């Protein structure tokens, strides 16, 4: 069997293991409940801005639960192989260690794909339903047609998926050298916060006088991916003349995420290469 | 001369156990050749380096010094594992898969052709007497059944070399006996078996050669018969024993300069007695009961 075949098998098995875990099901139910609950805020009668509220609320829920899913499922699925010694049986077969790492990651990536698709489909359904209702109540706000760009939600699915993919790859890298599941989860969330807030350092980079400090901040900004790059939900769902995302800009985000995933997986495979199991 | 199934040369493995560079030497300058179509027992007390040696042979650990090869291919190479089946100690498998799914999964990982997967899976399940429990989830298996499904996954790609780490640990005597018979059957099929165990009675019964390790070093190696036989002594088993006849036999032995050293009633082993009085065909498989029957 070829390397892609073995990777595919490991990914399929990892996905199967993930969906049979209660944790995943609970998280999906919670996320669905949270997005659906955005509807109940309509009693405040925000008018057409209610749609933005629902979209923000929904994307917030996806980010919160998607991040938890990316970190916890990656760490859990990796360490279940190590602690249950199934990795021992697997790596005693003609399987390269990098194939094992990539296969595990792809299994998690399929889980994330299922999660993001389900959540954004639900968000789109809620938005469509409320938008149709608001079109009857406030027709003057919809003279130019629907406000929500539903194609943009499809595009958002890929950028969100890549963001969670980068987070899963970070977790995989930490898991490849760490000894415990807990350490991996805590450190991964810590790195996630850095990635989420590193734009503050980027913004202040040009103001720094000390060249050494400037170099350090520049290096750190490259080391940790900038998660703000992926925050394009509003531009994609509610595009305006002032705030829209070009095709080039969108493809740039996809390339940015893909490059980080490839680099992080490469480092994970390197780190896992000589790990004693 | 053909390459040995396993060649270990000057193998040393140190584990770092402290922050100040303190190391534990698990394997110390071990050299060993295991030839084709042998059942080879690697013996020793817990912590003597058996499993570490086995892991290095399988490429799961990097040696500190020395070399290891399988049929001439270095253990560090993934290609060396194409012809190897491995059963780890106290194996855990994916609990969410059924026994049959598990064996099929490993068959595919090992590159068994799609057209042969079904036949190979059923063949090895039958070989380890698991065909009736193969539809059940692995999470419901007993220890003995886990060992046997573990052997099935190790054999599914028809490897030339089978490495078994404590294959009978935690298994009842019936299961142990079945596994021992299976190991002998593997040899008859032309396989080489490397067996790690500290159940010496069983090793004695199945192995052609043994090596004993202590504190990471090889202390003894050789054929089981040549190591255990006392060259100048023989035992005679006498039917219809008669004490008068014994006196005459002693006199004859004395005439030839030999002595009768011990007279005792031969005993069968407790294992044998257990096997004679239990149903060997019902090895740990339990019985499937429908919901309706269960409520009665």
pLDDT in tens, A150-198: 999 999 999 999 999 999 999 999 999 999 999 999 999 999 999 988 8
Residue B147 lies in a domain: yes
The burial class, CB within 10 Å (0-12 / 13-18 / 19+), for A110 is: middle
User: Quick one: tokens of B248?
Assistant: 């005459």
Element (DSSP H or E) covering residue B88? none
Residue B51 sits in a domain whose CATH number is 3.40.50.300
Asked, for residue B242, whether it belongs to a domain, the answer is: no
Mean per-residue pLDDT for B185-206?
86
Contact status of A274 with chain B (Cβ, < 8 Å)? yes
User: Which tokens in the block code for residue B103?
Assistant: 């064996």
Does the global pTM surpass 0.80? yes
B248-280 pLDDT, tens digit each: 998 999 999 888 888 888 877 777 777 777 755
Residue B264 lies in a domain: no
Q: How far apart are CA A27 and CA A17, in angstroms?
A: 15
Confidence of residue B289 (pLDDT cuts 50, 70, 90): low
Which pair of structure tokens corresponds to residue B184? 């002998």
A13 touches chain B (CB under 8 A): yes
CB contact, 8 Å: A277 with chain B?
A: yes
Q: pLDDT tier at A21 (50, 70, 90 boundaries)?
A: confident
Give every CB contact of residue A6 below 8 A, 6+ residues apart in sequence. A95, A99, A103, B109
Size of interface A-B (CB pairs under 8 A): 67
Residue B209: φ, ψ to 5° = -135, 155
Separation CA B15–CA B289 (nearest Å): 50
Q: Is residue B224 part of a domain?
A: yes
- How many Å lie between the alpha carbon of A249 and the closest alpha carbon of chain B? 40
What is the Cα–Cα distance from B2 to A73, expressed in whole angstroms? 48
Nearest CA in chain A to B13: A276
What are the Cα distances from residue B6, in Å, to A95, B15, B43, B152, B170?
A: 20, 23, 16, 22, 28
Q: Give chain B's domain count.
A: 1
User: Is the minimum CB–CB distance between A82 and chain B shorter than 8 Å?
Assistant: no
Looking at the predicted complex, does its ipTM rise above 0.90? no
Q: Which residues contact B97 (CB under 8 A, 6 or more apart)?
A: A13, A16, B105, B137, B138
In angstroms, the CA A60 to CA A72 distance is: 18
B32 bridge partner residues? B8
A165 vs chain B: nearest CA distance in angstroms? Answer: 25
Task: State the average pLDDT over residues A213-217.
Answer: 81
- Element (DSSP H or E) covering residue A65: helix A49-83
Least trusted range by pLDDT, from A36-45, B32-41, B84-93, B166-175: A36-45
Q: Where are the domains of chain A?
A: 3-272
* Close Cβ partners of A70 (under 8 Å, ≥ 6 residues apart): A108, A112, A164, A165, A167, A168, A171
Max mean pLDDT range (A104-108, B130-134, B176-180, B223-227): A104-108
Q: How far apart are CA A227 and CA A230, in angstroms?
A: 6
Short-list B156, B179, B30, CA closest to B84: B156
DSSP-derived secondary structure for B205-229: HH-SEEEEEETTEEEEEEEHHHHH-
Would you state the pLDDT for residue B122?
A: 95
Dist. CA B227–CA B292, nearest whole Å? 58
pLDDT > 70 in chain A, percent: 96
Of B86, B93, B108, the CB nearest to A92: B86
Q: Do B81 and A94 touch (CB under 8 A)?
A: yes
**Which domain covers residue B100, as residue numbers?**
6-230
B244 in a structural domain = no
Is residue B277, in this structure, part of any structural domain at all? no
Give one DSSP letter per residue of B112-143, joined into a string: --HHHHHHHHHHHHHHTT-TTTTTSBGGG--H
């Amino acid at each position: 069997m070829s390397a892609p075949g073995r990777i595919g098998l490991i990914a399929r098995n990892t996905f199967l293991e993930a969906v049979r875990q209660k944790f995943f099901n609970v998280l999906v139910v919670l996320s669905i409940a949270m997005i659906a609950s955005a509807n109940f805020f309509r009693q405040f009668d925000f008018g057409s801005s209610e749609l933005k509220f629902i979209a923000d609320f929904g994307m917030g829920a996806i980010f919160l639960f998607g991040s938890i899913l990316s970190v916890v499922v990656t760490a859990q699925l990796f360490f279940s192989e190590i602690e249950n010694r199934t990795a021992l049986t697997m790596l005693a077969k003609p399987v390269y260690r990098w194939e094992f790492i990539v296969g595990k990651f792809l299994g998690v990536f399929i889980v994330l794909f299922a999660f993001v698709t389900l959540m954004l489909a639900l968000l789109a359904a809620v938005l469509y339903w409320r938008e149709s209702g608001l079109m009857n109540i406030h027709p003057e706000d919809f003279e130019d047609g629907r406000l929500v760009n539903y194609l943009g939600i499809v595009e958002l699915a890929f950028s969100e998926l890549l963001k969670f993919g980068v987070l899963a790859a970070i977790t995989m890298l930490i898991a490849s050298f760490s000894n415990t599941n807990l350490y991996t989860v805590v450190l991964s969330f810590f790195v996630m916060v850095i990635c989420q807030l590193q734009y503050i350092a980027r913004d202040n980079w040009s103001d720094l006088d000390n060249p050494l400090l400037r170099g350090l901040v520049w290096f750190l900004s490259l080391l940790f991916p900038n998660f703000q790059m992926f925050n394009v939900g509003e531009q994609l769902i509610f595009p305006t003349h002032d705030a829209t995302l070009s095709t080039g800009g969108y493809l740039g985000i996809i390339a940015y995420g893909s490059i980080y995933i490839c680099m992080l997986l490469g480092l994970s495979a390197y780190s896992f290469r000589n790990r004693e199991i | 001369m053909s390459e040995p199934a396993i060649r270990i040369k000057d193998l040393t493995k140190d584990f770092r156990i402290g922050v100040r560079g303190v190391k534990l030497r698990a394997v110390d300058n071990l050299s060993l050749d295991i030839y084709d179509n042998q059942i080879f027992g690697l013996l020793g007390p817990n912590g003597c380096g058996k499993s570490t040696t086995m892991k290095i042979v399988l490429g799961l650990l990097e040696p500190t010094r020395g070399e290891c090869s399988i049929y001439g291919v270095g253990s560090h190479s993934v290609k060396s594992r194409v012809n190897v089946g491995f059963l780890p100690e106290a194996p855990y498998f994916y609990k969410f898969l059924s026994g049959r799914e598990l064996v099929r999964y490993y068959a595919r990982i090992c590159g068994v052709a799609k057209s042969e997967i079904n036949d190979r899976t059923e063949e090895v399940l039958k070989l380890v007497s698991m065909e009736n429990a193969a539809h059940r989830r692995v999470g419901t298996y007993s220890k003995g059944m886990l060992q046997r499904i573990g052997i099935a996954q190790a054999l599914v790609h028809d490897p030339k070399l089978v490495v078994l780490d404590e294959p009978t640990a935690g298994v009842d005597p019936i299961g142990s006996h079945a596994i021992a018979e299976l190991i002998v059957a593997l040899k008859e099929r032309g396989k080489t078996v490397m067996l790690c165990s500290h159940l010496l009675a069983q090793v004695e019964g199945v192995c052609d050669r043994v090596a004993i390790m202590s504190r990471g070093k090889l202390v003894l190696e050789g054929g089981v018969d040549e190591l255990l036989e006392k060259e100048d002594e023989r035992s005679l088993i006498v039917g219809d024993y008669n004490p008068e006849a014994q006196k005459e036999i002693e006199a004859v032995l004395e005439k030839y300069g030999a002595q009768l050293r011990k007279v005792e009633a031969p005993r069968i082993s407790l294992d044998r007695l257990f096997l004679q009085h239990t149903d060997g065909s019902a090895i740990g498989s339990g019985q499937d009961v429908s919901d309706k029957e269960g409520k009665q």
